[in-house]
Chains A and B, each alone.
Chain A
Amino acid sequence: MSPVRPSFIALAGLAGAVAALGATFVDAGLRSAAAGPGLAARGALAARLELTDLALFTEARYTRNPSQADLHAAFQDHPFAFEHFPTGSLVAPAAAKRGRP
């Protein structure tokens, strides 16, 4: 007749939440395995076209190709200047530009 102890509920809940955390790893594994062919196709395309960058940030020339960008492109007078374009706050000038040749 004694009611379920709260610590039992809490521990069960904790176990459930930890299982959910584990499930994210399983899910990630499954999905990245499923994405394998797509990734390979993307890689093959990049290799064939000799692409060097992702097409993530296309609004400005220097963010389209972070690795190739011109140091002195418009709106980018200084490598650490505040950006005119919003994604400028996500993509820094390429490291290759910042120090080494």
Chain B
Amino acid sequence: MTAGWISRQRHLLDFALSSLGRRRGKNLGLLAVYTLVVFVLASVMLFSHAIRHEARLVLKDSPEVVVQKLVAGRHDLIPAGHLEAIRGVRGVRAAEGRLWGYLFDPAAAANYTLMVPRDQPPAPGTALIGSGVAAVRDAAPGDTLSFRAHDGQLVQFTVAGTLERDSALVSADLFLVSEADFRRLFGVPEGRFTDIVASVRNPREIRTVAEKIDAALPDTRIILRDEILRTYDSVFDWREGMLLVLLSGAILAFGIFAWEKASGLSAEERREIGILKAVGWETSDVIRLKTLEGMVISLTAFLAGYVLGYLHVFHFGAPLFEPVLKGWAVLYPDFRLTPFVDELQVATLFFFTVFPYTVATVVPIWRAATVDPDQVMR
């Protein structure tokens, strides 16, 4: 029985292929549109997933707890006195003040992120710059960059070195300076910090510790590393979802297109199905035949679209997304995404593209298959 079943399916497949081939123009058009839809969706999903994964890996050792002071709902400098209060909370291992901020550089029309590394800070008057900064200012070690401080005076920095290009994804716009220079440039008084980072002795107690800090310092807000990671997860999930919802318009349009193509049977096709039924094909044979035709198209489109999307995102640097991602950013990190693909993504993509197509073609297929067998005699 199985051998007969197999050779029957193969005969049907043979016929389905030659039937597709006989309407080459129509089917190639459909295939092209379908592949394009899969390609765009695949690119979006692969890109978001890879970024998400990358963020998760890169930021896994970022500060456990960040404490920021709020004044009237806006972020404000935090007094050093809070440091003691935080260190006094049970479970806190260490707490340090961070100094960082944004600096708009009119020469490059770009925003830099100025930071004071507590670990190996640059000497006063020198700076370590990210690769993006180096690129927009065309700066090399030894060059001098000058900015206007908060009081209008010029502050000069000698470039002591650049951060590795490899780390551009986190460091492209960094401008690392000494604490004295930072305070001088922005006029941040001694005893004040941008925010405070704290580490916790027992990782399981982070949330409890955070609640204690919150209770002790009601004028602050607390950001946990878990939240940051989760934020990256959901930011891209959410945006990816939004994009998919928007693209679902495209999927819908494609579904309608597929329905149209499937139901717009030409007189010739109708005659063919009539002939098949008259000479002894059963309705379910015709349904199977048409389903095979649909499967050939959807599998081809899915596989081709996915592989093209993969190449686009990971081998060609996602050029189609660059405009959106870059936006008006002058400092865009020069990075190549590390490919991370997983089965769930591929399965979801398959579901998203093949399922609507299948649904859209069911009724037209059935309608085509129930052509009267005796109509060829009329």
Contacts and interface: CB of A to CB of B under 8 A. Distances in A.
Q: Decide whether A and B are members of one complex.
A: yes
Contact of A95 (B174, B235, B310, B324): B235
> Interface size class for chain B?
35 or more
B73 interface: yes
B307 interface: yes
Given A17-B304, A67-B223, A96-B227, A58 B173 contact: yes
B122 interface: no
A1 interface: no
Contact of A56 (B66, B169, B197, B222): B169
B17 A90 contact: no
Dominant SS among interface residues on chain B: helix
Nearest to A40: B57
A81 interface: no
Interface stretch (B113-121, B251-259, B268-276): B113-121
A100 B173 CA distance: 29
Interface string A4-48: 011101110110011011001101100110010011011111111
Contacts of A56: 51, 169, 325, 333
A77 interface: no
A75 B228 CA distance: 23
A92 B238 contact: yes
B325 A57 contact: yes
Interface in B280-313: 296, 299-300, 303-304, 306-307, 310
A87 B325 contact: yes
Contact of A25 (B115, B167, B169, B341): B341
A59 B58 contact: no
A35 B117 CA distance: 26
A24 B310 contact: yes
B217 to A, nearest CB: 12
B62 A47 contact: yes
A68 B222 CA distance: 10
B170 A54 contact: yes
Contacts of A64: 102, 111, 113, 173
Contact of A31 (B238, B239, B330, B338): B338
A24 B329 contact: no
A58 B105 CA distance: 13
A100 to B, nearest CB: 8
A54 B299 contact: no
B235 A45 contact: no
B262 to A, nearest CB: 20
A2 B17 CA distance: 17
B132 interface: yes
B73 A72 contact: yes
B66 A68 contact: yes
Interface in B55-70: 55, 57-63, 66, 68
A85 B327 contact: yes
Given A68-B75, A88-B327, 9 more contacts: A13-B300, A17-B307, A47-B62, A53-B228, A55-B333, A56-B325, A92-B239, A96-B228, A96-B231
20 contacts: A6-B21, A7-B10, A10-B296, A24-B341, A39-B57, A41-B166, A48-B117, A49-B176, A51-B171, A54-B59, A55-B333, A58-B111, A59-B330, A65-B113, A66-B232, A67-B66, A67-B223, A86-B323, A91-B239, A94-B227
| In the A-B complex, the 7 residue pairs with the closest CB atoms | A86-B327, A47-B61, A28-B339, A17-B303, A87-B327, A6-B17, A59-B329
